[in-house]
Amino acid sequence: MNILIFAGTTEGRNLAQYLGRCQIFCHVCVATEYGEALIEESEYLKVHTGRLMADEMAQFIQKEQIDFVVDATHPYAVAVSENIVWACREKNVFYQRLLRSSISIDEKEDNIIFADSVEEAAEFLKTTSGNILVTTGSKELSKFTVIEDYQERIYARVLSTPEVVKACVQTGITGNHLICMQGPFSKEMNVATMHQVNAVYLVTKESGKAGGFEEKIHAAKEAGVKIVLIGRPKQEEGLPLEQVKKMILEKEGKKARHQICFVGIGMGDRNNITLEALEAVKAADVLIGAKRMLETFSYLNLPSFCEYRAETIAGYIENHPEYEKVAILLSGDPGFYSGAKKLLGYLKGQTICTYPGISSVVAFCAKLKTSWDDVKLLSLHGRGQNIIYSLREYGKVFALIGKKDGIAEVCKKLLEYGMEDTKISVGESLSYPKERIVSGSPKELAEMEFAPLSVILLERKKEDLTVTHGIADEEFLRDKVPMTKEEIRSISLSKLRLKKDSIVYDIGAGTGSVSIEMALQANEGSVYAIEKKKEAVDLILKNKRKFAAENLEVIEGLAPEALFPLPAPTHAFIGGSSGNMREILKILLEKNKNIRVVVNAIAAETIAETVNCLKELPFVEEEIAEVCIGKSKKAGSYHMMMGLNPVFIFSFTGGEEN
């Protein structure tokens, strides 16, 4: 497809450069050498300079075999657009008008005077006094010469080209009444210019967002200047820049090249965002994020997509090639419990940059005047975390909450595990108008209500925790329930090879001594103690509270039936099978074919059944250790060794032999 763009506006130049980056060749027509200088010619962009009449346009279309024309001329260049339409009809080629985004103006605004034409604006200004800043260009500047003392009253802001300056001088606008600059201009620049020329009136056209019209309106209000607005000549039909981009890409069968920015916006208030991140937001073609994040930047009037799910966001970007620069808004910092990690998996192959933000942990600790370099960082928002063990180990824990009753749940958990001495600080709706910071004990805060958008800092004296297995038998609450002895636990746990995040079954858990030790070692994972006897279940729960094993869940029931609803395990310890060893091992393999298993057996029948299972089921790395423990017993001044029942310790891993 041979494309021709009449690029008389910022949007036209943006379209041409965008197509060039997408490696789509196009011809670009500009009226002046100045317009040519604004577009960098490349192997994909051929720039043609000079004003063309209708017949010359038709000849050019025929010569270059053009079949798709984009009219991106200025909204006020009515005659030029009419010539382009005529030429396209004459040569039977596709014509597409590119619309400039307009700004909604309330006609009841006190400081705006509406005029249908430049002549009408000049007639109105004849009846006024005070300096006038004219920003409508040099072509129609002569129409303002009907104003008495126009050479003293009028200040013209025009392009800085020799032909423009010459035209202004011939009109009689010279010296410091002639301001030669290239726009669009910021609000601050407009205010400064109005103050510099002591303007009472600003003459402008509705040049749209890209033309800096919005900045002029805001600047005039701030400077106390009245606006003389020359309305658009007609209501146009066409497509905005984004839709024209999409149309051409689809016709060319090209995929867009997105520039995706993960932008950390801080806690929510836009004053918390870094200047670098704010510039990335302003430069974006579209903003993506949750509702409250998009609301923070609604004043920018950028296209937006309200979404937080990674897969949906990736699909939206794929289906909207017209948005080259995408800003994905993430609360706090993208590197701290944000959606950035998951998004990266869906956006492979895209160009991605990350702008860090001020995270809630940094801001909250600053407000509390405490450091955060010794804090354990957690998120309780939609995920399981062993907050009790972390508090015992670190003594200082920060957590994101994310649900209405989250603070109450933490308080009740602390009370359940005997940690009522914990100091809790809650930060609610940080940076928002309803921000609240409350400190107290678990008992004091348990009945209070807090917004879901809250964070907590827990502080208490950290414990001197043992890092190896080997809790003394006397430490466990036992009653009359059988218990795996300390030495056997130590050997069995070493054979199990647990990791910090392991998911473990303890089948036939008894007092829960093995479960407790596993839970303390796999403190970032989960342990499921399966026990059929009610008195043993009650005992495990008591030991759970005593040792603060928050990540231990007790399941009352008989294996293998009790195993079905549980998540897939990485490890399993079998201390009692109730004669169901084969069925239990089969279920474990179905849940995880690479599971690591340790079995303790005393009875000859259990030993024989386990050996047969190892012969028939796909297990490798098989080891059998017969352990005979003798423990001393004091008899007067002597120590006599008393033998315990020998225990067979089986250890093996799921998998086929090579």
Question: Does residue 79 surpass a pLDDT of 60?
Answer: yes
Q: What is the pLDDT of residues 386-429, one digit of tens each?
A: 899 999 999 999 999 988 889 999 999 999 999 999 999 999 99
Question: Does residue 626 surpass a pLDDT of 80?
Answer: yes
Where along the chain do the CATH 3.40.50.150 domains lie?
A: 473-654
Q: Report the alpha-carbon distance of residue 324 to residue 327 in Å, rounded.
A: 10
State the pairing for strand pair 638-643/630-635: antiparallel
Q: Report the alpha-carbon distance of residue 590 to residue 597 in Å, rounded.
A: 13
Tokens 């981009």, residue located: 245
Question: Is residue 88 within 8 Å of residue 61, measured between CB atoms?
Answer: yes
Question: Does residue 640 surpass a pLDDT of 80?
Answer: yes
Question: Does residue 383 surpass a pLDDT of 70?
Answer: no
Q: What is the pLDDT of residue 232?
A: 62
DSSP code of 42? B
User: 473-654 falls under which CATH superfamily?
Assistant: Vaccinia Virus protein VP39 (3.40.50.150)
Q: What is the pLDDT of residues 526-579, one digit of tens each?
A: 999 999 999 999 999 999 999 999 999 999 999 999 999 999 999 999 999 999
- CATH 3.40.30.10 describes domain 3-99: no
Q: What is the pLDDT of residue 104?
A: 58
Q: What is the pLDDT of residue 637?
A: 85
The structure tokens listed for 354 are: 């990350």
Question: Is residue 249 within 8 Å of residue 321, measured between CB atoms?
Answer: yes
Question: Does residue 102 surpass a pLDDT of 70?
Answer: no
Q: Report the alpha-carbon distance of residue 208 to residue 214 in Å, rounded.
A: 7
Q: What is the pLDDT of residue 56?
A: 93
Q: What is the pLDDT of residue 455?
A: 94
Per the prediction, the chain carries an average pLDDT of: 90
Question: Does residue 590 surpass a pLDDT of 90?
Answer: yes
Q: What is the pLDDT of residue 210?
A: 64
Q: What is the pLDDT of residues 285-323, one digit of tens each?
A: 999 999 989 999 998 888 999 999 999 999 999 888 878
- CATH 3.30.2320.50 describes domain 361-459: no
Mean pLDDT of 586-606: 95
Closest to 265 (Cα-Cα) out of 292, 300, 286: 292
Mean pLDDT of 181-194: 89
Of 254 and 647, more confident: 647
Chain centroid, CA 581 distance in Å? 48
Question: Does residue 627 surpass a pLDDT of 80?
Answer: yes
Q: What is the pLDDT of residue 88?
A: 94
Where along the chain do the CATH 3.40.50.720 domains lie?
A: 3-99, 117-230
- Which option is the CATH number for 257-357: 3.20.20.140, 3.40.1010.10, 3.20.20.80, 3.40.50.1820? 3.40.1010.10
Q: What is the pLDDT of residues 239-268, one digit of tens each?
A: 888 889 889 988 888 877 789 999 999 988
Coil vs helix vs strand at 626: strand
Evaluate the CA torsion angle 123, 124, 129, 132 in order and state its sign. Answer: negative
Query: Which of 179-183, 516-520, 606-610, 654-658 shows the lowest mean pLDDT across its residues?
Result: 654-658
Q: What is the pLDDT of residues 450-494, one digit of tens each?
A: 998 899 999 999 888 777 777 877 888 877 777 788 889 999 999
CATH of region 117-230: 3.40.50.720
Where along the chain do the CATH 3.40.1010.10 domains lie?
A: 257-357
Q: What is the pLDDT of residue 109?
A: 64
> With 0-12 CB in 10 A as exposed, 13-18 as middle and 19+ as buried, what is 623?
exposed
Question: Does residue 443 surpass a pLDDT of 60?
Answer: yes
Q: What is the pLDDT of residue 329?
A: 96
pLDDT band at 182 (very low <50, low <70, confident <90, very high): confident
Q: What is the pLDDT of residue 382?
A: 67
